[in-house]
Amino acid sequence: MGDWQAFPDASGHFGRFGGRFVPEALMAALDELTESYDRARTDEAFTAELDDLLATYAGRPTPLTDARRLTERIGGARILLKREDLAHTGSHKINNVLGQCLLTRRMGKSRVIAETGAGQHGVATATACALLGLECVVYMGEEDTRRQALNVARMRLLGAEVIPVTSGSRTLKDAINEALRDWVATVDRTHYCIGSVMGPHPFPMMVRDFQRVIGVEARAQVLERIGRLPDAVVACVGGGSNAMGIFHPFIPDDGVALIGCEAGGDGVATGRHAAAIAGGSAGVLHGMRTYLLQDDDGQTQVSHSISAGLDYPGIGPEHSLLHETGRASYRVVDDAAAMEALALVARTEGILVAIESAHAFAGAFGVARELGPEATVLVNCSGRGDKDVDTAARWFDLLDPEAGGEPAPGEDAPARG
Amino acid sequence: MHSRLDACFAAAREEGRSLLVGYLPAGYPTVDGAIAAMRAMVEAGVDVVEVGLPYSDPTMDGPVIQDAADAALRGGVTTRDVLRTVEAVATTGAPTVVMTYWNPIDRYGPARFAVDLAAAGGAGTITPDLPPEEAGPWLAASAEHGLDSVFLVAPSSSDERIRRVAGIARGFVYAASLMGVTGARAEVGEQAASLVERVRAATTLPVAVGLGVSTAAQAAQVAGFADGVIVGSALVRVLLDAERRGLGEAAALDGIRALAADLAAGVRAAVPASA
């Protein structure tokens, strides 16, 4: 596929994927955003302000950690971790929102809306809005507001309005629907800060560009640490922004395998999963052509994952292209494997990772064993797991009943830990 | 070549009036119930029927149409059922178009959908999230089977966008009266009249106005400057209310007839647009 900088093309396509499938009412805003971003990306004042915020506010560069005990325990390739969990607000999401919120200000808009699943993007957006003095409204599926209650409180502390979405399946995809409905009515003063490499052009490109800093840093850090490039880069994929961010600078490096880990939920065979590539087909959702979970009539199917942040029936269009061209490969990690990885990383490295990121670790363990001890695997540790303590405690039955925990499920529950 | 929509607009123009477009989703309250409601609104004076294809992610629709579409999907409505609905409604003689988000047609296969829609007697489609940039294959399939393809413009559309949309539209241009989703509003957006004027500068196609029109008075107002008046949520609400209040089908159909007749009287009592 030659020149990867050529994607997307001028009309926002990544091969046959991407594009802009939105109501005409939003076209003017997308054109405005495309032009503003185009000017900003080459404007030294903009890039200097963003770089300064990333360094002095978000805590970049994030470190590269040698996961020695984990490497020993897995018994395969050397495992290096890109520590996005150490970025401000606890995940890579801050990279994108600082860029988009600066852009919002440049466009003369005063209000930012966002969707959120796990709450990490919502928290990051609320944070950037507080910092830059912008009004912030976050749409979150009602089901997610329950399983990520801590993040709802965080957003409200940061001054954001959190609106629980009760339409459709009450999860991330419906939060996106509601944000799009808000946007079409308020577009003259509102920017929709999409949290992943998805949606209509220019979002998949712009969010990727703001997240590329992960891969740019990691590539240089790995070179410095081991004197060569890694053999594989592994990341979890819901919409796919942390994966696109760490993959993109490595795309021209033919010897580096790029591996995305989709959320397998109860297993692809059960139909209860969120693996758009492994279990889906090409179609149109949320303004883009991409792989998605749909039935024979093109109705979106509800996704399932223990990870709210990966619980999305689609995937960013550039991932669909990377999959079809074979430049990246995608594996499925189910709930049980992800939770097992979460526990292992906690006990061997003292890092409590987000359940989203735990999917990347579970996938990386397999890759590390396949490649063997001479190889090096770079894992994107995209977020920290504080928000998931309640979910993990229930999964591993760590709560004392008298301390307020729900009783453990009965014998019919899947094997845990 | 004159399509059924062309003929319908021409006939209304000869009567010196705008025409009335009524929207209801297929499959609500049931497939047959929706067919009966659509036939009832034609009897009461609706000139063109929009058969909505219920979709899981209707980002352009407000709560009323979302609720009905959700209920229809829970009831198991399929794309095949939508085509069967078109077939049953088209026999009334009213041009019948399918209003759908793009993915269901994409999944069905655009060429196959065009064949089956034409065979069902459909007059064309309205595709609100299919932009001109992506419409090539659908335009070709529609043209091959004599189907009109209606596209939307919005108050935010630049004159250049309006020219582009109007250039590929067939049948009529759908002008969204306001920036927002479907649903009744207290007043028709004041941007509607100026948008219609901008569309007329770009095309000789008829222009119909939708979004937010729910009463006879609003229909009369819009008929003063547009060739067509599109009403959706207000009609859907009649069916939703009938279901919620436990009224029978006969009462629901009476409600549809009453509102449709009221709206039809409205378009015939057009208030000339103030200069």
Give the mean pLDDT of A16-32: 96
B70 classed as catalytic: no
B272 pLDDT band, cuts 50/70/90, is confident
Whether residue B159 lies within 8 A of chain A, CB to CB, comes out as no
**Which residues from chain B sit within 8 angstroms of residue A177, using beta carbons?**
57-59
Nearest to A191 by CA among A54, A97, A312: A97
Q: At what angle do helices B216-223 and B249-268 cross, to 10 degrees?
A: 30
**In chain B, what are the helix, strand and coil shares in percent, each to the nearest 5?**
50, 15, 35
Contacts of B48 (CB under 8 A, 6+ apart): B5, B8, B19, B20, B21, B22, B94, B95, B96, B97, B123, B228
Flag whether pLDDT at A304 surpasses 60: yes
Disruptive mutation site among B64, B156, B164 for chain A (greatest number of A CBs within 10 Å): B156
Contact A219, A256 (CB under 8 A): no
Amino acid A404: pLDDT: 52
Q: Exposure of B168 by Cβ count < 10 A (0-12 exposed, 13-18 middle, 19+ buried)?
A: middle
Nearest to B33 by CA among B258, B269, B247, B221: B247
Give the mean pLDDT of A21-32: 95
Disruptive mutation site among B57, B73, B157, B181 for chain A (greatest number of A CBs within 10 Å): B57
Give the mean pLDDT of A354-376: 98
Flag whether pLDDT at A407 surpasses 80: no
A414 pLDDT band, cuts 50/70/90, is very low
Q: Closest partner residue to A21 among B108, B131, B157, by Cβ?
A: B131
Per DSSP, what are the bridge partners of residue A237?
A: A262
Length of chain B: 275
Distance of CA B150 to CAs A266, A356, B5, B123, B244, Å? 43, 42, 10, 10, 33
A289 pLDDT band, cuts 50/70/90, is very high
A171 pLDDT band, cuts 50/70/90, is confident
Flag whether pLDDT at A103 surpasses 70: yes
Amino acid A137: pLDDT: 98
Query: Average pLDDT, whole number, for chain A?
Result: 94
Nearest chain A residue to B108 by CA distance is A297
**Which residues from chain B sit within 8 angstroms of residue A11, using beta carbons?**
133
Give the mean pLDDT of B237-253: 95
| Long-range contact set of residues A299-303: C-beta below 8 Å, sequence gap at least 24 | A299/B55, A299/B56, A299/B73, A299/B104, A300/A173, A300/B56, A300/B57, A300/B103, A301/A271, A302/A169, A302/A171, A302/A173, A303/A171, A303/A173, A303/A263, A303/A265, A303/A273, A303/A274
In which residue are the tokens 């008046």 written? B229
Nearest chain B residue to A187 by CA distance is B179
Amino acid B270: pLDDT: 83
- Spot the catalytic one: B14, B15, B43, B50: B50
Amino acid B1: pLDDT: 56
Amino acid A167: pLDDT: 87
Quick one: tokens of B200? 């007329």
Contacts of B119 (CB under 8 A, 6+ apart): none
Quick one: tokens of A200? 């209509």
Amino acid A147: pLDDT: 78
Contact A284, B103 (CB under 8 A): yes
Quick one: tokens of A363? 């996938």
Whether residue B161 lies within 8 A of chain A, CB to CB, comes out as yes
Disruptive mutation site among B105, B179, B185 for chain A (greatest number of A CBs within 10 Å): B179
Nearest to A179 by CA among A169, A168, A194: A194
Tell me the nearest-neighbour CA distance from B236 into chain A, angstroms: 18
Q: At what angle do helices A355-371 and A335-349 cross, to 10 degrees?
A: 80
Amino acid A144: pLDDT: 87
Contact A257, A233 (CB under 8 A): yes
Determine which helix (DSSP H) or strand (DSSP E) holds A32, and give its type and residue range.
helix A27-41
Whether residue A283 lies within 8 A of chain B, CB to CB, comes out as yes
Q: Are strands A135-141 and A161-165 parallel, antiparallel or unpaired?
A: parallel
At A219-274, the pLDDT tens digits run 999 999 999 999 999 999 999 999 999 999 999 999 999 999 999 999 999 999 99
Q: At what angle do helices A149-157 and A120-132 cross, to 10 degrees?
A: 0
Cβ separation A181–B129 shorter than 8 A = no
φ and ψ at residue B63, rounded to 5 degrees: -60, -35
Amino acid A170: pLDDT: 87
Contact A36, A84 (CB under 8 A): no
The percentage of residues in chain B with a pLDDT greater than 90, rounded to a whole number, is: 92
In which residue are the tokens 């046959």 written? A16
Q: At what angle do helices A93-106 and A44-56 cross, to 10 degrees?
A: 140
A148 pLDDT band, cuts 50/70/90, is confident
Give the mean pLDDT of B9-26: 97
Amino acid A1: pLDDT: 46
Return d(Cα A123, Cα A105) in angstroms, integer: 19
Nearest chain A residue to B164 by CA distance is A24
Whether residue A163 lies within 8 A of chain B, CB to CB, comes out as no
Flag whether pLDDT at A413 surpasses 70: no
Amino acid A403: pLDDT: 58
Nearest chain A residue to B131 by CA distance is A21
Flag whether pLDDT at B206 surpasses 50: yes
At A306-317, the pLDDT tens digits run 998 999 999 999
Query: Which residues 87-126 of B have a C-beta within 8 angstroms of A?
Result: 102-108
Distance of CA A347 to the CA centre of its chain: 24
Nearest to A304 by CA among A361, A266, A359, A355: A266
Determine which helix (DSSP H) or strand (DSSP E) holds A333, and give its type and residue range.
strand A328-333
Q: Closest partner residue to B176 among A25, A283, A297, by Cβ?
A: A25
List helix spans (H) across A294-352: 317-325, 335-349
CATH architecture type of domain B4-269: Alpha-Beta Barrel (3.20)
Contact A364, A378 (CB under 8 A): no
Return d(Cα A114, Cα A191) in angstroms, integer: 9
Whether residue A36 lies within 8 A of chain B, CB to CB, comes out as no
B187 pLDDT band, cuts 50/70/90, is confident
Give the mean pLDDT of A351-365: 98
Q: Exposure of A132 by Cβ count < 10 A (0-12 exposed, 13-18 middle, 19+ buried)?
A: middle
Query: Which residues 216-235 of B have a C-beta within 8 angstroms of A?
Result: none
Flag whether pLDDT at B273 surpasses 80: no
B2 pLDDT band, cuts 50/70/90, is confident
Return d(Cα A409, Cα A417) in angstroms, integer: 14
Cβ-based neighbour number of residue A314 at 10 Å: 31
Q: Which amino acid is at A63?
A: P
Q: Closest partner residue to B154 among A23, A180, A300, by Cβ?
A: A23
Tell me the nearest-neighbour CA distance from B173 into chain A, angstroms: 12
Quick one: tokens of A12? 């926002």
Return d(Cα A272, Cα A264) in angstroms, integer: 8
At B149-177, the pLDDT tens digits run 999 999 999 999 999 999 999 999 999 99
Q: Sort residue B16 into left (φ over 0), alpha (ψ -120 to 50) or beta.
A: left
B275 pLDDT band, cuts 50/70/90, is very low
Give the mean pLDDT of A149-167: 95
Least confident range from A16-20, A116-120, B172-176: namely A116-120
What are the extents of the domains in chain B? Answer: 4-269
Disruptive mutation site among B80, B103, B126, B157 for chain A (greatest number of A CBs within 10 Å): B103
Higher-confidence residue of A313 and A406: namely A313
**Which residues from chain A sit within 8 angstroms of residue B133, using beta carbons?**
11, 19-20
**Which residues from chain A sit within 8 angstroms of residue B130, using beta carbons?**
21
Contacts of B201 (CB under 8 A, 6+ apart): B159
Flag whether pLDDT at A405 surpasses 50: no
Contact B120, B145 (CB under 8 A): no
Whether residue A10 lies within 8 A of chain B, CB to CB, comes out as no
B245 pLDDT band, cuts 50/70/90, is very high
In which residue are the tokens 């582009």 written? B164
Return d(Cα A158, Cα A119) in angstroms, integer: 13
The percentage of residues in chain A with a pLDDT greater than 70, rounded to a whole number, is: 95
ipTM computed for the complex: 0.95
Return d(Cα B258, Cα B275) in angstroms, integer: 32
